[in-house]
Amino acid sequence: MIIERFKNQDPIPVYRRVRASGRLFPDGLKYIDSWVEPNFDRCFQLMECDDLALLQQWILRAEGLMSFEIVPVIPSKETQRVVAPFLDAPRR
């Protein structure tokens, strides 16, 4: 999960760049979906990749239009598989 903060809560420069040049993702970085707060403060983007350096390359292309926070997440179905063997074990 990538949390972007629009500089000065202004999404216009970002959307202009996307319209003109695309999202500028390096090969191997997959965009899943995104959500924007109503006040244009933050955008939450779900991305997928095997190499975190791809996220770094993409962030360097942002040209100061926003700041980024990278939050690694695991799909719930994968977490359920990890947790399943512990469900019936006694708690300490």
Instruction: Kindly report, residue by residue over 32-86, the tens digit of the pLDDT.
Output: 999 999 999 999 999 999 999 999 999 998 878 899 999 999 999 999 999 999 9
Residue 24 lies in a domain: yes
Residue 51 lies in a domain: yes
Residue 22 lies in a domain: yes
Domain extent at residue 27 = 2-86
Question: What pLDDT does 61 receive?
Answer: 86
Interval 1-40: pLDDT, tens: 999 999 999 999 999 999 999 888 999 999 999 999 999 9
Question: What pLDDT does 92 receive?
Answer: 73
**Dist CA 63 CA 80 (whole Å):** 39
Residue 92 lies in a domain: no
Residue 91 lies in a domain: no
How many independent structural domains does the chain possess?
1
Residue 69 sits in a domain whose CATH number is 3.30.70
Sheet holding 66-70, edge to edge: 30-36, 42-48, 2-6, 66-70
Residue 73 lies in a domain: yes
